[in-house]
Amino acid sequence: MVSQADCIFCKIAGGQVPCHKLYEDEQVVSFLDAGPLTRGHTLVVPKAHYMTLEAMPAELAGSCMAAVARVGRAVVAATGAGAWNVLQNNGRVAGQVVEHVHFHIIPRAEGDGLGYRWPAGTLDKTDAEQLVGAITEALSG
Ligand code: 5GP
Ligand code: ZN
């Protein structure tokens, strides 16, 4: 198991720091966020320490996403939320504060006041072709 001594989520996963636990299996733990954006805001965290999604093994990412779907269903049922977001921040610039990969389950309700900027542009054809080339090359690497 990959772990890091000063990591808060490693400590929660290892039972050294308490949490309001909702779900646990061999690879994943899920608990209420201590600073909820909305009622029922929940985190899904792999027990092993990886900083970001791209750093973690694909099978573990799959286990996390299975837990997100399962816990998310239960959170929605229990809170009566009409909808929910999954949020996953990788890196400080993207808003990641805790450097142990995690998935946010955020229940949503009409008028909850929670929003985000989504300043959509228009996909440029030349740039799209360049991106497809670069990303598919990276995928095959
Ligand atoms: P990030 O910005 O890194 O994606 O989100 C980190 C989340 O972890 C925040 O929503 C924050 O409220 C939550 N968090 C940080 N420390 C603790 C803690 O000790 N216990 C719990 N339950 N949540 C925490
Ligand atoms: Zn950790």
Question: Is the Cα dihedral 81, 73, 40, 92 positive or negative?
Answer: negative
pLDDT of residue 22: 98
Element (DSSP H or E) covering residue 68: helix 58-79
pLDDT of residue 131: 98
pLDDT of residue 137: 97
Note the ligand closest to the C-alpha atom of 102: 1
CA–centroid distance, 34 to ligand 2, in Å, is 17
pLDDT of residue 122: 98
| Nearest CA among 57, 45, 51 for reference residue 14 | 45
User: Is the Cβ–Cβ distance between 74 and 86 less than 8 Å?
Assistant: no
pLDDT of residue 107: 98
Q: Which residues line ligand 1 (CB under 6 A)?
A: 8, 19, 31-35, 89, 95-98
CA–centroid distance, 15 to ligand 2, in Å, is 12
- The best mutation among 12, 17, 20, 33 to test binding of ligand 1, ranked by most ligand atoms within 8 Å of the C-beta, falls on 33
pLDDT of residue 26: 97
| Nearest CA among 76, 15, 16, 12 for reference residue 44 | 12
pLDDT of residue 141: 81
**Does residue 49 carry a catalytic annotation?**
no
Burial per residue of 21-51, b for 16 or more beta-carbon CB atoms within 10 angstroms, e otherwise: ebeeeebbbbbbbeeebbebbbbbbbbbbbb
In this prediction, the residues of the chain whose per-residue pLDDT falls under 70 are: none
Distance, in Å, from the CA atom of 63 to the CA atom of 71, rounded to the nearest integer, reads: 12
